[in-house]
Amino acid sequence: MTTHLNAHAVILAGGIGSRFWPASTPERPKQLLPLASPRPLIDETLERAAQLFGHGRVSIVTSNQLATAFDRMGVLGGTTVLAEPVARGTAPALAWAAHQLERRDPGAIMVSMHADHRIQPQAGLRDSLARAVELASDGYLVCIGARPDRPETGYGYVQLGESLGDGGHEVGAFVEKPDHDTAVSYLDGGHHLWNTGIFVWRCADLLEAVATHAPEVPLGPLDRADVEGFFEGCESIAIDVAVMERAGRVATVEARFEWDDVGVWDALGRTRESDDAGNTVVGAGRLIDSENNIVWTETTRANVVGVSGLVVVEANGELLVMPRSESARLNEARARLDASGSDEADA
């Protein structure tokens, strides 16, 4: 039997994942979709957390609406649900979660993870988190960093500072999403890791850092009655910006696992199985003379002939056809489609 990590898990599960439209919708967000395996992301994530931290030491931060959806799916188990009254980004959410945990278990260390990322193998995650928990016990705010294997422009990066031993480093700087040339230089240089959005800290340390560095997140007593007022009083801000980029004692641990944020349709080519021609098909689909397509169907069967590099998605009454290379810009494309006004031709 495995010993559990001596920490609490906080799973962030409030987002929609709008770049998986039309499969993702506000009612059925990304974490409910089988994007990294045949199981919904949330199901994998909660199972993983329960195995690593033990039942009863996993919380999920989400909306009331999604909490109901998760409950209906039967994935919550013993998970504590922290329902945000309103979404204000990760900084208010994590400050609130840290406050709740600190009250329940003074001196507790928390590990925050997103519900909709792909991580494997589990053993590698466990090793990395164990090292991060050590650093957190020394007062560090820790970000898990993943070694890049491509010049990804869709992720933020962590610049490595002085080594702390055993995979740990001080953080030189947090860097926003780079342009392609910069991403290539990071890949070649070897001194930058992807910011995975997995953080480890003592709850008390995070709360102190928020109080010191993040005026956008005004901490008050944060008791049950005050939660709504707390969120309403916060600016919408990410923890990276509010705390990690500003605080002093910040470290990173290099991930001993593969990590993918499964951010856009293009990612399915990495996270789901592909055929010999590089086509990834989820749902019913048949392809000939076609390479490197992403196909997702829910109520129809796709028949794809002689095309390459496309995303073809049928879900929720919508059909999407676009180049994979454009899939990171899906939100902009949707806004333009909505504005195009050419909704329906005579039939």
Residues in Cβ contact with 125 at an 8 Å cutoff, skipping those fewer than 6 apart:
48, 52, 119, 255, 256, 257
Q: How far is the CB of 335 from a copy of itself (least distance, A)?
A: 10
Give me the least distance between CB of 179 and a copy of itself, in Å please: 21
Candidate residues 86, 232, 273, 331; the one interacting with a copy of itself per rule CB under 8 A: 273
Applying CB under 8 A, what is the total number of residues that bind a copy of itself?
45
Per-residue contact flags (x/-) with a copy of itself for residues 89 to 108, judged by CB under 8 A: --------------------
| Minimum distance, C-beta of residue 307 to a copy of itself, in the bound complex (Å) | 6
Between residue 3 and residue 42, which ones bind a copy of itself under the rule CB under 8 A?
Answer: 22, 34, 38
Q: For residue 215, is the peptide bond before it cis, meaning its omega torsion is within 30 degrees of 0?
A: no
Q: For residues 40 and 148, which CB has a smaller minimum distance to a copy of itself in the complex? A: 40
State how far the Cα of 333 lies from the Cα of 314, in Å rounded to an integer.
17
d(CA 284, CA 302): 6
Is 211 strand, coil or helix? helix
Question: Which pair of structure tokens corresponds to residue 66?
Answer: 């999604």
Q: Which is nearer to a copy of itself, 238 or 307 (CB)?
A: 307
User: Which residues between 279 and 338 bind a copy of itself (CB under 8 A)?
Assistant: 281-288, 297, 299-307, 310, 312, 314, 317-323, 326, 333-334, 336-337
d(CA 153, CA 29): 24
Pick the closer one to a copy of itself by CB: 51 or 308.
308
CA 196 to chain centre: 8
Question: For residues 225 and 288, which CB has a smaller minimum distance to a copy of itself in the complex?
Answer: 288
Interface with a copy of itself in residues 35-54 (CB under 8 A) = 38
Residue 165 touches a copy of itself, criterion: CB under 8 A: no
Q: Which is nearer to a copy of itself, 212 or 303 (CB)?
A: 303
Closest distance between a copy of itself and the C-beta of residue 315, in Å?
Answer: 9
What is the largest distance, in Å, between two alpha-carbon atoms of the chain? Answer: 68
Least gap, CB of 42 to a copy of itself (angstroms): 16
Nearer to a copy of itself, 179 or 276 (CB): 276
CA-CA distance, 228 to 215, in Å (whole number)? 18
- What size, in residues, is the chain? 347
Give me the DSSP letters along 98-164.
HHHHHHHSTT-EEEEEETT-EEE-HHHHHHHHHHHHHHHHTT-EEEEEE--SS--SSS-EEEEEEEE
Contact predicate 147/232, CB 8 Å:
no
Question: From start to end of 149-243, where are the E strands?
Answer: 157-165, 168-175, 192-202
* Binding positions for a copy of itself, rule: CB under 8 A: 22, 34, 38, 273, 275, 281-288, 297, 299-307, 310, 312, 314, 317-323, 326, 333-334, 336-337, 340, 342-347
